[in-house]
């Protein structure tokens, strides 16, 4: 890997045009907005100030454990109290991404999570999210694709209902379908027919796998669930067959550094397998996962990659181009996205002479008919 570049200061990394392929709406909620909602709806939560609420919805002094991490979302579900609240939360998630100089975002959400407490119709919450995201996309000049997430530990019938929404809304901004949740206790077998139908419908498929469980989950995701991309997948390098298979098929990996530390996937960021994944030729990308739960930005993730893993500009640029090539867009759209970032990110030899990025906020636009 290339040596750290002294020009990659936090300021320069924030100015770097970026892509985030793995960001959950439910993990992107502003603390101050949650506090406002808690007070407005008189939720049975501490609301004297944000610092009282923070430990319930954000990783603070928690032990590194995936079940502790997931427990934050059980609390967060109580804040989806009205159409206006859901719309505001979705709008702000996109605004925050744009403020971090993310030009292309794929934001995933679970309609069932947003609907559960107030028993909203799944189609209604989907409409509210789509409208808010499209409005924010226009306001902040950022291109956003939406991914609908199924959850392993939810009832299968509910998963089928949520998947049908993804199929019905694929011409309204839904670009892919995801499977998340506790991969240790809930294997993906029951979801195979759903993801076969998703692939046949032309949706992109991404599966959380190889994060808390073994590389075998990555093999299942690709061979049985038709995954184009793997959420996390850091344990792929533990199995030579899986490693060869994903490399031959060009499967992309949505790596999230801070999340992996907080869930106990790695115990020290200096030992994170991202460097090995790149050295072994995997199509790795850097993402945030749940930026407000983890209290991080994509810029923060890049800073960790530079300071803790010793990655340089060439590696960061390559991972952004990997993300562009793996975006859930029509082929022509992906080509234009790659060209967009190639223009904004100078080649490594050029960057060594000039540390400035082209920070144009002109959005990358594509036609759904491409």
Q: C-alpha distances in angstroms, 94 versus 7, 57, 115, 133, 134?
A: 28, 19, 20, 7, 9
Residues in the chain: 370
Q: Which of 26, 211, 254, 301 is catalytic?
A: 211
Nearest-10 Cα torsion for 256, 261, 264, 269: 110
Given a contact cutoff of 8 angstroms between Cβ atoms, the answer to whether 350 and 314 are in contact is: no
Distance CA 280, CA 47 (A): 48
Strand order in the sheet with 102-109: 18-24, 102-109, 143-151, 174-180, 204-209, 229-232, 252-255, 283-286
Please give the sequence-ordered ranges of beta strands (E in DSSP) within the chain, or none if there are none.
Answer: 18-24, 102-109, 143-151, 174-180, 204-209, 229-232, 252-255, 283-286
CB-based contacts of 255, cutoff 8 Å, min separation 6: 232, 233, 234, 274, 277, 284, 285, 286, 287
For 243, other C-beta atoms within 10 Å of its C-beta total 19
Is 211 a known active-site residue? Answer: yes
CA distances from residue 168 to 127, 162, 164 in whole angstroms, order as listed: 12, 10, 6
d(CA 169, CA 29): 24
Query: Distances from the Cα of 321 to the Cαs of 18, 84, 125, 208, 212, in angstroms?
Result: 9, 36, 33, 21, 27
Cα separation of 307 and 77, whole Å?
A: 35
Q: 10 Å Cβ neighbour count for 221?
A: 29
Of 202, 122, 128, 115, nearest to 160 (Cα)?
122
């995997």: which residue's tokens? 282
Please identify every residue annotated as catalytic. 211
């Amino acid at each position: 890997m290339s040596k750290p570049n002294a020009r990659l200061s936090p300021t320069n990394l924030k100015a770097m045009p970026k892509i985030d392929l793995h960001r959950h709406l439910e993990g992107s909620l502003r603390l101050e907005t949650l506090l406002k909602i808690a007070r407005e709806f008189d939720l049975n939560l501490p609301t004297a100030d944000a610092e009282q609420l923070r430990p319930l919805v954000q990783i603070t002094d928690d032990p590194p454990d995936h079940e502790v991490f997931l427990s934050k979302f059980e609390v967060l579900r109580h804040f989806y109290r009205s159409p206006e609240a859901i719309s505001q939360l979705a709008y702000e998630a996109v605004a925050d991404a744009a403020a971090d100089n993310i030009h292309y975002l794929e934001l995933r959400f679970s309609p069932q999570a947003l609907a559960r407490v107030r028993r909203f119709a799944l189609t209604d919450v989907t409409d509210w999210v789509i409208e808010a995201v499209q409005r924010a996309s226009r306001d902040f000049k950022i291109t956003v694709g939406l991914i609908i997430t199924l959850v392993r530990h939810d009832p299968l019938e509910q998963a089928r209902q949520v998947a049908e929404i993804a199929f019905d809304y694929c011409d309204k901004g839904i670009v892919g379908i995801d499977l998340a949740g506790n991969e240790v206790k809930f294997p993906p077998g029951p979801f195979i027919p759903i993801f076969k139908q998703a692939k046949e419908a032309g949706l992109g498929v991404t599966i959380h796998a190889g994060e808390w469980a073994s590389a075998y989950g990555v093999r299942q995701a690709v061979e049985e669930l038709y995954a184009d991309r793997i959420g996390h997948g850091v344990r792929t390098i533990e199995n030579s067959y899986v490693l060869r298979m994903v490399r031959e098929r060009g499967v992309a990996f949505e790596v999230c550094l801070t999340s992996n530390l907080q869930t106990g996937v790695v115990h020290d960021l200096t030992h994170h397998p991202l460097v090995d994944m790149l050295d072994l030729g995997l199509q790795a990308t850097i993402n945030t996962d749940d930026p407000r739960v983890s209290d991080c930005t994509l810029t923060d993730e890049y800073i960790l990659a530079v300071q803790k893993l010793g990655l340089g500009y060439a590696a960061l640029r390559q991972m952004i181009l990997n993300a562009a090539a793996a975006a859930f867009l029509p082929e022509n759209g992906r080509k234009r996205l790659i060209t967009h970032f190639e223009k904004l990110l100078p080649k490594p030899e050029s960057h060594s002479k000039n540390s400035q990025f082209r920070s144009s906020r002109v959005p990358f636009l594509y036609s759904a008919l491409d």
